[in-house]
Amino acid sequence: MDIGVGLPTTVPGADGRQLVEFARRAEHNGFHTLAVIDRLVYDSYDSIVALAAAAAATERITLATTILLAGYRPSVAELGKQLASVDRLSGGRLVVGVAAGGREDDFQATGVPYHTRGRRLDQLLTELQRVWAGQGEVPGIGPRPVNGQIPVWVGGHSPAALSRAARHGIGWISPGGSAAAYPELVAKAKAVFAEEGRTDVPRMAAMTYVALGDDRGQRAAQYLLDYYSYLGPKAQFLAGAVIADEARLRGTIDGYAAAGCDELLLFPCTADVGQLDLIAKVALP
């Protein structure tokens, strides 16, 4: 199982220089992927801009949006150009993870209807492929991705999300939960891929939050309670699930590996680059 790490673009107080150093350290430590989560109406860095900075600071590590809430962006053509630009800047290292999203204010801020976001995302994914092939509604938008197209991952638990993953993605990403429930989710996702006529093996991923070190768990919980406040009681569950000690992190990694996960994405709840060394000691022995 590959181990990826999150870039702390949504952590309060994260300095831009810290994020660049975070990217460098993640690659130096040997993590497979550097990932970002996405939100518009929050005091956070733009996901695509942050990955562009990471692309300039690294050479080998995969760069991934996990997850980009692509549907709230009004212009598919502009989004396609931005993503293709990061792909070219990074030498073809970009993977685009997407999901429908559950924050209505993000859509209100850009004037995009919220309640039709799933249908819009399906249309957007089809159009992105056309834009990257130089065949969008207005042909000729560049740059072209290094490898012709950009791999797409799809997240979400709903039947519509799983079908979307099978139609458009290289695989499926679990938006959170536990390793104990993961095998059933993987089986369900693979069944949908088969129903959609896919014969390739889908890549299964999951994400979880980590905050190793003294008093980090409490501060991480406060951050997640704020970030996920729109979820109500579920925010408390996410805050309480932060991995704050090495033994639990090792157990979580082993649990996901046994459950059929191909890549586990560990998202630090601090912008302190030293956190990467602590995680790597456990996750990348």
Does the pLDDT value for residue 259 go beyond 90?
yes
Residues 182, 179: Cα–Cα separation, whole Å: 5
Q: Which of 116, 147, 153, 133 is nearest to 36 (CA)?
A: 153
DSSP, residue by residue, 201-234: -PEEEEEEEE--STTHHHHHHHHHHHHTGGGTHH
pTM reported for the whole predicted model = 0.96
CA-based angle 248:177:179, to the nearest 5? 55
In which band, very low, low, confident or very high, does the pLDDT at 175 lie, cut at 50, 70 and 90? confident
Q: What is the mean pLDDT of residues 251-255?
A: 97
User: What per-residue confidence (pLDDT) applies to 176?
Assistant: 77
User: What per-residue confidence (pLDDT) applies to 117?
Assistant: 97
User: What per-residue confidence (pLDDT) applies to 217?
Assistant: 84
In which band, very low, low, confident or very high, does the pLDDT at 177 lie, cut at 50, 70 and 90? confident
By percentage, how much of the chain surpasses pLDDT 90?
Answer: 91
- Residue-wise pLDDT for 147-166, tens only, equals 999 999 999 989 999 999 99
Q: Which residues contact 219 (CB under 8 A, 6 or more apart)?
A: 211, 269, 270
Lowest mean pLDDT among 25-39, 61-75, 132-146, 228-242: 228-242
Q: What is the CATH number of the domain that holds 149?
A: 3.20.20.30
- Residue-wise pLDDT for 30-83, tens only, equals 999 999 999 999 999 999 999 999 999 999 999 999 999 999 999 999 999 999
Instruction: Tell me the three state secondary structure of residue 82.
Output: helix
Domain that holds residue 180: 2-283
By percentage, how much of the chain surpasses pLDDT 70?
Answer: 100
User: What per-residue confidence (pLDDT) applies to 23?
Assistant: 98
- Residue-wise pLDDT for 180-216, tens only, equals 899 999 999 999 999 999 999 999 999 999 999 877 8
Residues 101, 209: Cα–Cα separation, whole Å: 19
Q: What SS3 string covers 165-205?
A: HHHHCCEEEECCCCCCCHHHHHHHHHHHHHHCCCCCCCEEE
Structural domains counted in the chain: 1
Yes or no: say if 193 and 104 are a contact pair by the CB < 8 Å rule: no
User: What per-residue confidence (pLDDT) applies to 216?
Assistant: 83
Does the pLDDT value for residue 218 go beyond 90?
no
